[in-house]
Structure formats: C-alpha cells, structure tokens
Amino acid sequence: MSHFIVLLRGINVGGNNLLPMKQLSELLVLMGCSGVNTYIQSGNVSLFHPSQSADNVASDIANNIMSKFGFTIRVMAFTFETFHQLANANPFKHAEREPKTLHLYFLEETPPSPDLQSLQAVKAESESFALLGTVLYLHAPDGIGRSMLTAKIERCLGVATTARNWNTVSKLLSFVENQ
C-alpha cells in the first residue's frame, strides 16, 4: 500500500456536488483504501491505496464517486513524497507564518504555454506568484478574496487547477507524518 494525498475539486461548493466527508471516507474504505483521513469539507484526503500510480488512484476515486454519487469531479492524487516536495518548493517561505495568505494551485499537468504576462498584468502590487512545474504558488497578503489574479489563473495557465491554502497543505502533511 502506498501513501497518497488526494485533492477533490468542486465538491460541496454552492450546494453542488454534495459529498459529506463521512460518506467519502466510507467509499474509500470500500475501495480498499486504509488510513483514510479527511480535512474540512472541500475534499482533502490522506490515504493508503493499493496502487503505486497517482494517476490510477485519481481515476479510481473519480470513477467510484461517479458510480456511487452520480457526479463527475476532478481528482488529483500525489504520492506523499511528491506532495512533500511540492510543499517544500514553496518560494514564499516567509508567507508560511501567515498561512491564509499563501495558496498553492495544484495543476493537472505542466502548462504547455502559460500566459504569465496576463497574470502579471492583473496582480496586485502586494501579490507575488511563481509557477514551478505543476504548482502555481500565490502569496496574497491582502487576502485571496481581493485578488484579481485568482479568477484568471486557470484560463491563463490553460490547465485544470485546484487550490489549497497553506493551512490545508500543512494539515495534510501532518496526517502523513503522524501515521
């Protein structure tokens, strides 16, 4: 069994794709996963899965959610080692002290031709971002809700994303480190 961090995109938002974490945990156990831990209602999971492949884990979970709950969502899975490396690559270490200001946008794949100039044009003076492989790191000290950049990230990158703040990333790392 390999340890994975799984991020579900688009559940429990605006009354759509409702999936209580208890029901998700039960489904994951029925699928053969163990050590299932969820964090908040937005689809953050630490688990052990029989597969060695993050892509297989993601598609397995997405397919089972579709079969059981009747809706399709994007699922991104990372081995613990990969997730840990992505967190450690954060170029805004100083922002970790204010975890609500630091956001990691996990990308489904490396963008083939990201439009970073358009993102640069709309970012606030106080904001900083960096695209490193399959993660866009965003430091928004004035708050994510005020950022003009967030609404354009996915379109400018040209790939699907799911964002987590540093609190969530840290909590998922702690699940892994405590097992």
Distance CA 131, CA 170 (A): 20
Q: For the segment 6-55, what is each residue's pLDDT rounded down to a tens digit?
A: 999 978 777 777 788 999 999 999 999 999 999 988 889 999 999 999 99
| Over residues 142-158, mean pLDDT | 94
Distance CA 128, CA 73 (A): 29
Q: For the segment 65-92, what is each residue's pLDDT rounded down to a tens digit?
A: 999 999 999 999 999 999 999 999 999 9
